Every structure is written in C-alpha cells, then in structure tokens.
Chains A and B, each alone.
Chain A
Amino acid sequence: MSMQTGRARSLILLAAAFLGAAAARVEAQAGGNTAAVVVARYPEAAASFAGTLVAAMIRELGDSGFSPASAYVGTLDASLPDSELAGAALAESKVRWAAVVRCSLDNRRVLWRLSVYDALDGALVASDARAAFAGLSALPLMDESATLVAQAAAALRSRTAPGAPIEYRIRFSSPDDGAAVAFGGGSSSRLIGTITEGGLVAPYAAFESAVPIVATASKDGYWPRAYAFEPGLADEPVTLPALMPRTRHSLSAGTAFGRLVGLAADYRYHIASDSVFLRAGDQAWFQVAAGGGSRATLHDELRLGLGAYLFLPRPSRFRIAAGSGLSGIASFVQSDAGPGGLYFDLSLDAVWISYEWHWPKMAVFIEQRSAYSFGIDAGLLRRGWWEAGHAPMLLTAGAMIKW
C-alpha cells in the first residue's frame, strides 16, 4: 500500500480480476473469476476510514462471487479521474475488474466514493458515493456502500462488449410492394416505411452491428411477419421473406401411391383463413395388372370432409393439416362377356394428415389417410380399415394453388 499526498483527498484503487492469472485485455473479455488486486492511496488523516473501505470492498467482492481481491501495488496520480486511474491499474495488472475507492475528510465529515470499472471497454459498471460523520457511526455505512457496489458489479459480471454502431441506413428488399415495414413488433414497433419497387431504405438508426434486431412487415390480405437479422458493419441489403397471403380457397392436384394411373383433385374453402376449412375432392384412377387377362378397373372416389391446420403458425412455410370426412368410391369392373360390374363403397375417412410446404401462391403436400370401409353390399371392400398393399395408410402427393 502506498500513499500520495499531492491533493487533499485520499484515493484507493481496487482491481478485482476474473482471471486465473493476470491476463491480456482480450483474454479478460472472456471473463473469469479469480483474484483481484487492490491499491489504496489516501492521506494519512483518512487512513483509518480508507482502510475500512478497502477491507470492506475486498470482502464484499469476494462474497459477491469474485475471486479474492488484492490491493494494487503501484504508484498512480490521484488527481486523475477515476476512469483513468482504473484504466492505468487495469493495464498494469491485466485483470478485468478494478474498484476505485476515494476517501477524504472535510472538517468533521468523511466522504467516499466506490466505483467498479470493467477492463472490457473501460465502462463504469457500479458506483456509490456517500458522506457521514467522521466517527464510528460511519463504519456500517461504509460496509453497506461496499455491499451495494459489489453486488451491482456482480450482476454485470457476464457482460459483453457492445458492438460498434452501424454507419449506414439499413436497406430492405422484399417482393411485397406496399408492405409496411417497422422496427420491432407489436405496439412498441416503429414504422419506418413502405416497400416500393421491391425495396425500402430505412431512416438512420444507430443499431449496433451483429446485434439482432427485428423488422416486421405487414400488408393487407397477408399475414404480418417478423424477421430477425443482425446488421453487419458493411452496408448490405436485408432481404425480407415473402409475406404469406391469407388463404380463402385452394385447389390441388396429385396422385396416390398405388393409384398412379390416375389423378386427384381437391378443393378447400377456408372458413377461417389458413386455419379451418371444408374440402371436396375427386380422384379417378385405373387399377391395372400386368397379366394378359386383365382389364383395367376404373375407380372414382369422391371425398367430403373438414380439416384444420395444427400446431404451427398460420403463415409458416411448413404446415400440418388434419381432418376427417366421408368417402364414396364407384368402381367399374370390365367384363369380356357380360355387361361388367358397377360397385360402390362407402367409407369413413377417419383421419387424414397432410404435410405441406407453402409458398405464397402454392404448396406441395404429402397426405396420409386411414379410412374405414362400411362394407356395404354394393361394394368391393370388406368392412374394416383400409389396407393399401401391406401399408396401413394410403399416401397421396401433389401440389396446390391458393388464393
């Protein structure tokens, strides 16, 4: 411990390090939790109070999770501001945290200030300044002050260095002309403009580079969409994903495995956009066999049902829809000698699940279904669950357009 007497007040400098050993400044950014360094400078008259503050500071830093602090050993100019004193001590001791304690006497009062600085960017992370009667009654106040400062510093122990602010106006590109773009989301968002001719240059905002920010695009007839991005140091346009329109109708075409010589068409009317819908579909296909005596059997299935999108947000690219309904299949079996046979099967379309990948105007899907045949006399199917070959469910794949 050394003392400087050039000014009328005392100075104590503490540096608490997180490091396993004294480390470079860059290494200090990684954080740590090891020993601290304490350096104290004060006029002789305030020595007893300063000693109390230093001891309290060392103790409270340790109790708050810092490694045991130690006094800084060196000579500093007490006339320098606290931040410079801390910077000098941090540079010399190569630790991350430095606590500066100033203590002085003014007539019969003792005045002190405790400050903690972070070597990461030299920021003041905690501070407390007080004055009290220069007597024993000041000692509990000094302990309390040290506790508050140590706890405030400990709360920021995992802080990282803030990035540099960007120096350009963020440019957005989007296929949705007329879409309003805002920084943030919800009621706290700030409107920054409208997409025109596929782009928008936002008013300058001092966002830090590499810090995620959120932009929300919205447009009538479309689902609003929030997009998070991290602006870089260089001026590069931010591409906003296309907005998903609110769907009222969709029409799909596809075919089923095992019914490849045929086509399925399906219409959906959305009672609630992209949520609950009615569907009506028709699928016609020929059942063929390779043998010489085979005659293609024509099947035509009419489906009616109710479905809903589950689990995922309505504007999602990937969506899962499920539902149930009724199915009626008419089958015409060809005959060589007779008139042929016309049969009709009625089934409960017990559950179907559709896995879909959506673009704004279209989607592709694979649908699984499990149905139960009522086994009516006029039909070809027995009463029971459908079996497609050896698979329990029938698969259909196709594409749909939406509007």
Chain B
Amino acid sequence: MVTSRSVAALATATLYALAAFLASSCDLLSGDIFPSWLPYVEARADLAAAAAEAGIGTLRNLDTVEYASFTDPADGVDKSKILAYLRGLDGEALVAFEPAGMDIAMALKRGTDPLVGQVSGNIAATPEGFISGNLAFSAANLEAAPVLVPGGIVPGGILVTRSDPVEYFMMHTWYNDSILEYRLEIQKFDSAFSPLASASRRLDAEGSMMNLTKAQYFETAGSTDGLFRLLVETGPGTSVFSFADEAALLSSTPLLEDSSALRSGPFPMGNNGGWLTADGIVTMNRDSETYINLYAYDWTALEATPTDRLQITGDTEAYRIMSFDPSGSWWYLHDQLTQHLFALRTWW
C-alpha cells in the first residue's frame, strides 16, 4: 500500500539523488550535446564526398589542410581557397574548397591530370595561388595548367613566401650523421625558383637536436622588412625564433648564439604540434580536459601562460586540428569519425 509517508520518503530520496547528480556533474550547467566550438564554425565539408569526387575511393586519411589567401587583382574578387590533401584507398588527391560554404572548387588525383609533375601533401600558399608538391597553381584560374616548380617543396620541408618582392625561402632540418650535427638549411629563391642565397644553421656550436615544425613570414605594416618566425623543437622544449629581416635569417650563427634572433619559449606543445599566427602561437593540450591555447610571442614570464584558450568538449580524441591560418582568422578541424572538415573562426 502506498501511503503519503512513503510518497514523501520517495520524493526526498529522489531529490537527494538529483542533488548528488547535479553536484557530481561539474559541466552539467554548461554542457549541451553539440560541440562547444560549433558557434565558431563557418562551414563544413564532407571529405568522403570529396574523396569520391576525386576518384580515390574510400577516404583513409586527411594529410594536410592549408588556407591560400588570394584576391584577384584583375577583378578584385577574393579567390582564396582551402586546400586539403586526401589519401584514399585508390590514391591521393589535392582538393580545393571554396571558403564560403566549402564547396569543392577542384579535385585533382595525384598522377593523373597534369603530367608535368605530382601534387603532394606539402602545400604552401604563394602570391599567385599555391604550390602542392612540385606544381604551382594559379588561384585566379584553377583550370589553368599548373606550372612545374623545379625540385618542388622538399619532403619534410617548409616553403615560406614573401610577396614584395616575390621570393621563396625553402627550409628544412636534417641530421648529418657524419659529423653528428643537426642542421637547418635555408634556401632563398626568386619568383622563378632560381636560387639566390642559402644558409646552413645549427642550434648551438655542438649542433644539438632541433626540428623545424613551422615557419612563416609576417609582413610588418609600413616596412619592407617583415618578421620571419620559425617554430623549432629542441631538447629543452619548443621555441619560436624570430628574425627581423632576411639578413638575420640567412646568418650562419647558431640560433642560440645569434643576438639578432629573438627567442620566445619554450612553449608547452604536447604531441599535437603548434601553429604560427599573426596573433601568437597556438598549441593544443590534451590532459584531463582539452584546450587550444594561444600564447603571445613577447611573453616575459618564466613559464608561458596562454593569453586566450578554448576548451574542446566531447569525444576530443576524434578531433584533429589541421592548421591555423597565419593571419589568425581561421582554423580547421577534422572530425575523424564523421570525416567532416570544419572551417572555423578564431575565438580571440
């Protein structure tokens, strides 16, 4: 028999259970079923559909995503593209997406269309468009035949572009096992990819371990000289070396002994890499909670503290950050379970 007393006891027990449930769920008051970063999403691309359109079969992996900014001087139209390099069961492909809506602008399977060269996951923006592998594409007309770049982007290398005048700086690190030294090789090319200058640099006099993970040229308003920034992994940690001009970049002085190289860091990087933007360095840190942190270049404290950060909730293991646009406006996130690529606005 149910009595009013038993009803009251059940009500009390239920309220206690609810209170305990509320107290034990710290994110209960803020969490919803949708990803926390959804308000930053600009557009979404279906990579499986892109792979099908490129003719590479079932998508296996997304290697690279880069943003190539370009405004056509002929008509003033923004013809920027989001470039993704896809690896499928039946081949690999370079796919260009329109930034607005992420519709597919071009899908080029490696080794089929232009017989002059090969696209690859080494992608870099250029003043005229972008380079993938050893092919340079014009953003003004993607249907135009790409131009062969002699040597292309060195595997594992990074191509840095300067637009005024148009010059390229190819950088990569390697280990010279005959003299047991790590080296950073920098080669300067003109707009036709003719070599102009080069430099070989070490981290210190001993040639200690270093690995160049990102490099970028940032124009400085009102000056012909911009900043070259290099994100370098070293034994003590990951640091950014900034050079005020080309001469400082091409010096042969070891990085740690170069008074013209401004060093920032080390930054906590984890295993997820980092990205150089005009607003700072971005890293992703997975711990009990997952955050994307923005660090300023000119921090002065002993330990870098993020100036801004964004928490990623949900099944974060399946989320992979592909890149941050150097301008600091966009970033790209790959949901590996649904094979969707999201273009997002930055939160700072």
Q: How far is the CA of A132 from the CA of B38 in the complex (A)?
A: 102
- Knowing A289-B347, A390-B31 touch, does A341 contact B44 (C-beta < 8 A)? yes
CB interface residues, B 4-55, toward A, < 8 Å:
7-8, 10-11, 14-15, 18, 22, 25-44, 46
Asked if A258 is at the interface (CB within 8 A of a chain B CB), the reply is yes
User: For residue B38, which residues in chain A have a CB less than 8 angstroms away from its CB?
Assistant: 287, 297, 331, 333, 380
Which of A291, A311, A331, A390 contacts B26 (CB under 8 A)?
Answer: A390
Interface string of A224-242 (1 = CB under 8 A from B): 0000000000000000000
Q: How far is the CA of A195 from the CA of B315 in the complex (A)?
A: 61
Which of A295, A331, A373, A389 contacts B313 (CB under 8 A)?
Answer: A389
B10 pairs with A293, CB closer than 8 A: no
B34 pairs with A312, CB closer than 8 A: no
Q: How far is the CA of A339 from the CA of B22 in the complex (A)?
A: 39
Q: How far is the CA of A51 from the CA of B247 in the complex (A)?
A: 135
A336 pairs with B27, CB closer than 8 A: no
- Knowing A296-B39, A333-B41 touch, does A259 contact B347 (C-beta < 8 A)? no
B337 pairs with A382, CB closer than 8 A: yes
Within the complex, the shortest CB–CB distance from A20 to chain B, in Å, comes to 35
User: For residue B335, which residues in chain A have a CB less than 8 angstroms away from its CB?
Assistant: 382
Asked if B180 is at the interface (CB within 8 A of a chain A CB), the reply is no
Q: Please report the total number of A residues contacting B with Cβ < 8 Å.
A: 48
Q: How far is the CA of A43 from the CA of B347 in the complex (A)?
A: 114
B32 pairs with A291, CB closer than 8 A: no
- Knowing A335-B42, A336-B345, A390-B313 touch, does A357 contact B11 (C-beta < 8 A)? yes
User: For residue B31, which residues in chain A have a CB less than 8 angstroms away from its CB?
Assistant: 257-258, 387-391
A381 pairs with B33, CB closer than 8 A: yes
User: For residue B14, which residues in chain A have a CB less than 8 angstroms away from its CB?
Assistant: 318, 320, 355
Which of A297, A377, A394 contacts B39 (CB under 8 A)?
Answer: A297
User: For residue A371, which residues in chain B have a CB less than 8 angstroms away from its CB?
Assistant: 33
Q: How far is the CA of A380 from the CA of B35 in the complex (A)?
A: 9
Q: Please report the total number of B residues contacting A with Cβ < 8 Å.
A: 47
Interface string of A311-351 (1 = CB under 8 A from B): 11100111010000000000101011111010000000000
Which of B33, B35, B43, B44 contacts A394 (CB under 8 A)?
Answer: B33
Q: Of all chain A residues, which has the CB nearest B38?
A: A297
Within the complex, the shortest CB–CB distance from B211 to chain A, in Å, comes to 31
Q: How far is the CA of A357 from the CA of B31 in the complex (A)?
A: 26
Within the complex, the shortest CB–CB distance from A401 to chain B, in Å, comes to 21
- Knowing A293-B347, A355-B18, A382-B338 touch, does A259 contact B32 (C-beta < 8 A)? yes
A294 pairs with B43, CB closer than 8 A: no
Within the complex, the shortest CB–CB distance from A113 to chain B, in Å, comes to 44
- Knowing A341-B44, A391-B28 touch, does A386 contact B33 (C-beta < 8 A)? yes
Q: How far is the CA of A192 from the CA of B29 in the complex (A)?
A: 53
Within the complex, the shortest CB–CB distance from A286 to chain B, in Å, comes to 9
Asked if B101 is at the interface (CB within 8 A of a chain A CB), the reply is yes
Q: How far is the CA of A40 from the CA of B347 in the complex (A)?
A: 104
Within the complex, the shortest CB–CB distance from B205 to chain A, in Å, comes to 44
Asked if A299 is at the interface (CB within 8 A of a chain B CB), the reply is yes
Q: Of all chain A residues, which has the CB nearest B98?
A: A338
User: For residue B25, which residues in chain A have a CB less than 8 angstroms away from its CB?
Assistant: 389-391
A292 pairs with B348, CB closer than 8 A: yes
Interface string of B69-106 (1 = CB under 8 A from A): 00000000000000000000000000000011110000
CB interface residues, B 312-348, toward A, < 8 Å:
313-315, 335, 337-338, 344-348
Within the complex, the shortest CB–CB distance from A256 to chain B, in Å, comes to 8
Asked if A150 is at the interface (CB within 8 A of a chain B CB), the reply is no
- Knowing A337-B100, A355-B18 touch, does A291 contact B310 (C-beta < 8 A)? yes
Within the complex, the shortest CB–CB distance from B322 to chain A, in Å, comes to 17
Q: Of all chain B residues, which has the CB nearest A313?
A: B2
Within the complex, the shortest CB–CB distance from B334 to chain A, in Å, comes to 14
User: For residue B347, which residues in chain A have a CB less than 8 angstroms away from its CB?
Assistant: 289, 291-294
User: For residue A333, which residues in chain B have a CB less than 8 angstroms away from its CB?
Assistant: 38, 41, 44
B2 pairs with A289, CB closer than 8 A: no
User: For residue A178, which residues in chain B have a CB less than 8 angstroms away from its CB?
Assistant: none
Asked if A129 is at the interface (CB within 8 A of a chain B CB), the reply is no
Q: How far is the CA of A395 from the CA of B18 in the complex (A)?
A: 10
A-B pairs, top 4 by smallest CB distance, nearest first, are: A389-B31, A291-B347, A338-B100, A293-B345
Contacts A311-B10, A389-B30 given; 6 further ones with Cβ under 8 A? Answer: A297-B41, A331-B34, A335-B43, A338-B101, A375-B338, A388-B31
Offer 19 A-B interface pairs, CB within 8 angstroms, sorted by A.
A258-B31, A287-B39, A289-B40, A291-B308, A293-B346, A311-B10, A312-B2, A318-B7, A333-B41, A335-B42, A337-B99, A338-B100, A338-B102, A339-B101, A341-B43, A373-B33, A389-B32, A390-B27, A394-B33
| B interface residues, Cβ below 8 angstroms from A | 2, 7-8, 10-11, 14-15, 18, 22, 25-44, 46, 99-102, 308, 310, 313-315, 335, 337-338, 344-348
